[in-house]
Amino acid sequence: MLISTHKSPGLIVKGHQFEVPLNHEQPDGTTIHVFARELCASDNADRQAPFIVYLQGGPGFECRPPLTRSGWIKTALKNHRVLLLDQRGTGNSTPLCVQTIANISTVQEQAKYMQHFRADSIVKDAELIRKELIGENKWTILGQSFGGFCAVHYLSAAPQGLQAAMITGGLPPLSGHADQVYKATSKRVLSRNKRFYARYPQDINVVRKIVDYLKSHQVVLPGGTHLTPRVFQQLGMGFGRSTGFESLHYLLEYAFVDGLSGSELSYRFLRGVQNQLPFETNPIYTLLHEAIYCQKECSDWSAHRITQQIPDFAVEREPFYFTGEMIYPWMCIDYKELRPFADLATILAQKSDWPILYNEEVLMNNQVPCAALIYDDDMYVERIFSMETAEKIGNMRVWITNEYDHNGLGVDGSVIFEHLYDLIHGNK
């Protein structure tokens, strides 16, 4: 259902809302809404161009509304309409947050609800939306990071709906426990820490001063979360992006001010820390991040178990090393807005009957033109596993580069989009 239309410079933007089953195996049961934002170029608005559907990274993050006609979207709009899908539970889709989960009375029922927010349900939503918008016509998908995981499931479960698939930094391992992921990515996180301190050696002492302060003071972020050393350690999450080192370095520059009782952490710093930690505004990320890897097995707090075995991540270590894209059970203690999810998070971490996500036989015989960009030193999606997956998908063309970090699509989207588009059309 079309619910809104407006114009911004160079764009016509239409908002669509779709009613979909919470559980696609029970189409007559509980329903939720999924929102999608359709973009078309204002200079060819009357043209019924084919769709490119953007699958956002995460899990649990909405698509950002376009503020300008630029980047990969500008390039895509030359010949297509773009559909920005707010995956279920995010953005303008029926939101999953502290307020809404409270409407479900028991934690067991909450867990049953939450099991329907992985790639399999997202792809089923997309197929219902496709048929409502364009009938039996096909569309092209562009999956970034976790959106690439969704794209691979799409190729496995519903390739009949696809004209082509493009993936950036998002080819998942098709099998194996989440432990293998965190054993690999932990090494890359440690390497990024060393590179960070090599670039900004003066930050070693600043970071240690902050950690020592947090050990001896109870510090609360503006939103109510306790800034403990282990929460502070999670600021390394951004190290996999091209701007990650600078974002942390410039935050550290104004960490301390002279207050009535001496040197203390500044409000500006505390607000900056809160802004760089997205877990409370996007709780699906915490609740289901490890579950995106699970097939007939539980994650059992994989990242927590793996990093506990690595002495370099101990908060007493000198220099202090930051962690990366890892989720921990204590987050539902330290983060104010995650505390109501504590029991639910434990149930999901122990859930061992997650459905299989990938049909390797279907993928091997794939006929949909595919192109994937693999970042050589990706801190979030391990290159070796991505290459193994690429070899198991028929009709897949791969571009491997160390020119970009994981956020390459946002940094140089026009170039990346054109290159992948040429690959799926056999022009490279």
Kindly give, in sequence order, each residue whose CB lies less than 8 Å from that of residue 321, ignoring residues fewer than 6 positions away: 189, 190, 193, 233, 236, 312, 313
Of 328, 292, 301, 344, whose CA–CA distance to 98 is shortest?
Answer: 344
pLDDT of residue 22: 97
CA-based torsion, 130, 131, 132, 137: positive or negative: positive
What pLDDT score does 426 carry? 80
Q: 217, 353, 376, 425: which is the annotated catalytic residue?
A: 353
Could you report the per-residue pLDDT of 42-85, keeping only the tens digit for each?
887 667 899 999 999 999 999 999 988 999 999 999 999 999 99
| CA nearest to 319, candidates 185, 192, 205 | 205
Average pLDDT over residues 353-380: 98
Cα atoms found within 13 Å of the Cα of residue 55, Cβ hemisphere only: 31
Is 24 an active-site residue? no
Q: How far apart are CA 181 and CA 242, in angstroms?
A: 21
- What percent of the chain shows pLDDT beyond 70? 99
Secondary structure class of 220 (helix, strand, coil): strand
Closest CA to 222 of 182, 276, 262, 169: 276
Cβ atoms < 10 Å from Cβ of 104: 15
**Strands, E, within 9-138: which ranges?**
11-21, 31-41, 51-55, 81-86
Count helices and strands (H / E) in the chain. Answer: 18, 11
Concerning whether 406 is annotated as a catalytic residue, the answer is yes
Q: Name 284's Cβ contacts closer than 8 Å, sequence gap at least 6.
A: 58, 59, 60, 89, 90, 96, 117
The predicted structure's pLDDT at residue 162: 98
For 2-174+358-424, CATH number out of 3.30.1330.10, 3.40.50.1100, 3.40.50.720, 3.40.50.1820 equals: 3.40.50.1820
Tell me which of 93, 145, 299, 386 is the catalytic residue.
145
CA angle 5, 6, 10 (to 5 degrees): 125
Which DSSP symbol is given to 311? G
| Annotated active-site residue in 16, 80, 289, 406 | 406
Which pLDDT band holds residue 181 (cuts at 50, 70, 90)? very high
pLDDT, tens digit, 9 for 90 and up, residues 84-126: 999 999 999 999 999 999 999 999 999 999 999 999 999 999 9
Tokens encoding 198:
């090599």
Could you identify the residue written with the tokens 């994981």? 406
Domain layout of the chain by residue ranges: 2-174+358-424, 178-350
